[in-house]
Structure 1
Amino acid sequence: MNDPRQSDTASPATNRRTLLRSMGGLGLLGPIGERVSESTDELVPVTIGYSGSNGYRHATGLAHDVVHEYSFDALTVSLTDLSNGLLDRLREHPSIRYVEFDRTYRPLSQTTPWGVDRVGATPERTATIDAGDVDIAILDSGIDSTHPDLRANVGKGVSFTSSLGLLSDGSGSTESLGTGVFGPLNSDRPAWHDTVGHGTHIAGITAGSNDDSGIVGVAPSATLHAVRVLGSFGVGSTSDIAAGINHVVEQGWDVANLSLGGARPSNVVKDACQHAFENDTLLVAATGNNGPCSNCVRYPAAYSMVIGVGATTTDDSFASFSARGPNTDIVAPGQSIRSTYTTSVASYKTLSGTSMAAPHVGAAGGLLLASGYSAQTAKDRLLETTEDIGLSRSEAGSGLLSVTNALGFS
């Protein structure tokens, strides 16, 4: 089929002029399509969809200049004298499919997840705190460092998945607080790359970038570190988890988020947590998704040196899936939380669980550390400044996380 643009009746000198050659009359276009200046000649960009060589000749014959030629049947041209019925003549021509002015498309706006807003960690507030020197380790299924909302904040990564990859409760069953799509690691990805999605979701809640797109986390300027302790099926061994906690201490990182757990205690995990606590690492863990139940907080959240975090819903109710018991220290939003996800599956996903509640608290602790608190005083401050939402002590511990109160935001 002949290219209609090659018709011998069309003038190449007119039809092949480039945008740069017409800028003097047309005026510059901004990066999202807005005309930011124009000449006194009032050249107006108009896009014309045509059919065949007749449509092409008609469109270019009326144009002052061709701004864009597309590989499909359309042109963007500059026109003058729009008051003399030129547009009507174009639209009425049988070989013209459409005529339209440039429209403005803007970057998709960033959303603040309801949990971030509920605890008072809106970007306007957290922007006043420089948490760039705060290191928050996500002990989980890894992090997708290629995600546009995370890549600016991801620092180092390491994988501890050399053992059985199971988190046993002693009965032969396995438990994970995460969900996701499972698959093999790509050979071009680091060993700590997230193929499950859970760790990436936690990372976004913690420190999704404040970049005008996607979502924003509680501490968007903090540095994230991936400590992969959960394997491709979303579960991990106690020895690997202990090794991950030990690595956090060796690196001198400030916060360790553990959105994982098991029904039975582990001596090696407890020792690792105590070692981290004694070395001024703030430990935060999910209480478990085994509710409704009583006195059933999972480990390591049940340990006294760890902040055990339960989950609340959008109406400040206690989430039915959230474990309860005297080892619950605090609650945070955990229902229907939208956050980052592995880009190979979906860029963003909405999940529910105490896993989603814990990073709200870990990131809030990071903001306190950036403000001069130690791990112990940050822990105390978080628990002393909670909001009373009418839940029992076994449900909510000291209450709902309040970054507003903890940081003194007005």
Structure 2
Amino acid sequence: MSREHITRRSILRGVGAGVAGATLAGQAAASDGPNDEYVVGVYPDRGLEQARKAADAVRRELDFGSIGRAVAGRFSENAIEGLENNPNVRYVEPNGLMWALGQETPYGIEQVDADLAIDDGETGAGVSVAIIDTGIDAAHETLAENLGEGYATADAACTTSCGSGPFGGGNDIDDCLEEWDDDNDHGTHCAGTAGAADDGTGVLGVAPDVTLHAVKALQCDGGGTLDDIAAGIQWSADQGHDVQNMSLGSDTDSDVIRDAVQYADERGVVMVAAAGNDGPCSDCVGYPAAYDEVIAVSATDENDDLADFSSTGPEVDIAAPGVDVLSTVPRDDYAEFSGTSMACPHVAGAAATLIAAGTDPTDVRDELTAAADDIGLDDNEQGTGRLNVADALEIEDDEDDDDEDDDDEEPVDSEPVVDVFSVERSSSGPWSNADVNWEVSDEDGALESVTTELLDGSADLDSESSSVDGSSASGEHELRSRDDPDTVRLTVVDESGSEVTETADY
């Protein structure tokens, strides 16, 4: 499938099924932020004041506990040169941007057997999922009941007047209901896949009873500075969220994002990230997906083929549907997007479902990857395979159960069958003769006897029986009588006592 760089949305309002479409250009490449903005990482117990003083203006300070601290702001070239040579400074990096990873367009709920898990009552209830993205529509008809507290960085806060960006600007919503309201579409789409409510409206998410938290670290054009994203990861971890969905990234490693990821990992957060949209390529998984602490997700299509845009590499843990994924967008709208961004929330929702079912967060990655379906792709393309939520929860398909039940049932005895019954009639003097040819069968292989009779009304004038066995038998009986017969009767019996009778006029 080609990746178009135009919007092609169709509206699906207030209905439970249908097809809509949208495409946002996506990239995994990092791009520069403001030219004089940097992030300076220092040790936990030293260097902070020096970084502060060196800044022309401090934008934000981040405290990652024992990992270290960071100061984001504007610095002169001389200040940066001095900080790079300061032994109390761990790193200096431009405060670049990460972008919402592109889309082009779910059927995925059934493909990953999330519907079987939901039918079995595994819906993610009581688990918090943070969508670190462009926000979540604050009043969407199938998301509102699942929304919890949200957060937005100052630069990423919702706006109704978005400037142009690499994605062509925002979604032109008329008003911002919350600072973390979605002014782009991307975050709302991810939220719907992870946790759209099972309320008969719109679409169904993988974990329809989770609590969704909008962490708006990406601006209306889909980009977000490194410090904003790090602040979002940290805020979510501090709130005690169980799962973080990060459908964002770049092809460049970032020290401050690494710090934030390690900070969240220390607090037991399960982090899931999109592998990136740099495909076709090899060994090109972006960040933060490439970090060891993060579950990296590649994208497949409805036929379980690798999406042509999906990044691949040894860091890929698992695959999920990411082509033509139908989900929510503002306002009470629905659209199909494609991208590893769309694959990622399938796995985030599955992680939430496992945690709600009692899986320790430290075991979630292993449980998901062990249960994944091998769809025949290379390991660097699919990880261990394509996500299977029901198998991770050890839920069996009812159809499979029915088949097994059928296998366990006692076999039903089949009745014997008369395959051939022919009578050749003749007379000689006072005798009436009947030469009977017969062939019989029984599926159970349990034939017992064949009897032919020459009758006058109910009177038995003559008869002959043969013992038979197995699944088929054939023979000939010769019957005769001095009386006037009117009927020839054949009876076949099996070992269970089932019998079948046929008659022929004499």
TM-score range, shorter chain: 0.5 to 0.7
1:174-185 paired onto structure 2 within 5 Å: 182=170
1:11-410 paired onto structure 2 within 5 Å: 108-110=15-17, 113-122=106-115, 125-126=118-119, 128-129=121-122, 131-162=124-155, 182=170, 189-343=177-331, 347-410=333-396
1:138–1:119 CA distance, 2 compared to 1 (3 A): same
After superposition, the CA RMSD in angstroms is 2.4
1:385–1:238 CA distance, 2 compared to 1 (3 A): same
Q: Distance in 2 between matches of 1:161 and 1:355?
A: 24
Deviation at 1:125, TM superposition (A): 3.0
Counterpart residue type for residue 332 of structure 1: A
Q: Distance in 2 between matches of 1:163 and 1:220?
A: 27
- Given that 1:287 and 1:308 are in contact with CA atoms closer than 8 Å, whether structure 2 keeps it comes out as yes
Partner SS state of residue 223, structure 2: coil
Q: Distance in 2 between matches of 1:132 and 1:390?
A: 33
Answer with 1 or 2: which has the greater Rg: 2
1:364–1:299 CA distance, 2 compared to 1 (3 A): same
Q: Distance in 2 between matches of 1:330 and 1:304?
A: 14
Deviation at 1:108, TM superposition (A): 4.3
Q: Distance in 1 between matches of 2:316 and 2:387?
A: 13
Q: Deviations over 1:28-78 (max 9, x none)?
A: xxxxxxxxxxxxxxxxxxxxxxxxxxxxxxxxxxxxxxxxxxxxxxxxxxx
- Given that 2:134 and 2:222 are in contact with CA atoms closer than 8 Å, whether structure 1 keeps it comes out as yes
Q: Deviations over 1:328-374 (max 9, x none)?
A: 1110000000000011xx70000000000000000000000001112
- Given that 2:138 and 2:178 are in contact with CA atoms closer than 8 Å, whether structure 1 keeps it comes out as no
Deviation at 1:129, TM superposition (A): 2.1
Q: Distance in 2 between matches of 1:323 and 1:407?
A: 28
Q: Distance in 2 between matches of 1:272 and 1:118?
A: 33
Counterpart residue type for residue 147 of structure 2: V
Deviation at 1:132, TM superposition (A): 2.4
Task: With the length of structure 1 as denominator, give the TM-score of the two structures.
Answer: 0.67
The unaligned stretches of length 5 or more in structure 1 are 1-106, 166-174
Deviation at 1:213, TM superposition (A): 2.0
Q: Distance in 2 between matches of 1:125 and 1:224?
A: 17
Partner SS state of residue 249, structure 2: coil
- Given that 1:386 and 1:401 are in contact with CA atoms closer than 8 Å, whether structure 2 keeps it comes out as yes
- Given that 2:156 and 2:218 are in contact with CA atoms closer than 8 Å, whether structure 1 keeps it comes out as no
Partner SS state of residue 391, structure 2: helix
Partner SS state of residue 380, structure 2: helix
What is aligned with 1:39? none
Q: Distance in 2 between matches of 1:256 and 1:151?
A: 19
1:115–1:188 CA distance, 2 compared to 1 (3 A): closer
Q: Distance in 1 between matches of 2:156 and 2:222?
A: 14
Deviation at 1:184, TM superposition (A): 6.7
The unaligned stretches of length 5 or more in structure 2 are 1-13, 20-105, 159-164, 397-506
Deviation at 1:199, TM superposition (A): 0.2
Deviation at 1:180, TM superposition (A): 7.4
1:186–1:251 CA distance, 2 compared to 1 (3 A): farther
- Given that 1:111 and 1:215 are in contact with CA atoms closer than 8 Å, whether structure 2 keeps it comes out as no
Counterpart residue type for residue 394 of structure 2: G
Q: Distance in 2 between matches of 1:389 and 1:285?
A: 21
- Given that 1:161 and 1:231 are in contact with CA atoms closer than 8 Å, whether structure 2 keeps it comes out as no
- Given that 1:161 and 1:230 are in contact with CA atoms closer than 8 Å, whether structure 2 keeps it comes out as no
- Given that 1:205 and 1:339 are in contact with CA atoms closer than 8 Å, whether structure 2 keeps it comes out as yes
Partner SS state of residue 152, structure 1: helix
Q: Which is worse superposed, 376-385 or 327-336?
A: 376-385
Q: Deviations over 1:220-256 (max 9, x none)?
A: 0100000001001111011111110101111001000
What is aligned with 2:467? none
Counterpart residue type for residue 115 of structure 1: G
Counterpart residue type for residue 116 of structure 1: I
1:126–1:306 CA distance, 2 compared to 1 (3 A): farther
Q: Deviations over 1:167-224 (max 9, x none)?
A: xxxxxxxx98xx5751577665211100100000000000111111210000001000
- Given that 1:164 and 1:236 are in contact with CA atoms closer than 8 Å, whether structure 2 keeps it comes out as no
Counterpart residue type for residue 392 of structure 2: A
Partner SS state of residue 272, structure 2: strand
- Given that 2:275 and 2:290 are in contact with CA atoms closer than 8 Å, whether structure 1 keeps it comes out as yes
Counterpart residue type for residue 248 of structure 1: S
- Given that 2:300 and 2:306 are in contact with CA atoms closer than 8 Å, whether structure 1 keeps it comes out as yes
- Given that 1:143 and 1:194 are in contact with CA atoms closer than 8 Å, whether structure 2 keeps it comes out as yes
Counterpart residue type for residue 228 of structure 1: K
Q: Distance in 2 between matches of 1:204 and 1:163?
A: 21
- Given that 2:117 and 2:395 are in contact with CA atoms closer than 8 Å, whether structure 1 keeps it comes out as no
Partner SS state of residue 375, structure 2: coil
- Given that 1:365 and 1:382 are in contact with CA atoms closer than 8 Å, whether structure 2 keeps it comes out as yes
1:262–1:387 CA distance, 2 compared to 1 (3 A): same
- Given that 1:110 and 1:216 are in contact with CA atoms closer than 8 Å, whether structure 2 keeps it comes out as no
Q: Distance in 1 between matches of 2:168 and 2:366?
A: 34
1:271–1:233 CA distance, 2 compared to 1 (3 A): same
Q: Distance in 2 between matches of 1:265 and 1:349?
A: 32
Partner SS state of residue 277, structure 1: helix
Deviation at 1:275, TM superposition (A): 1.3
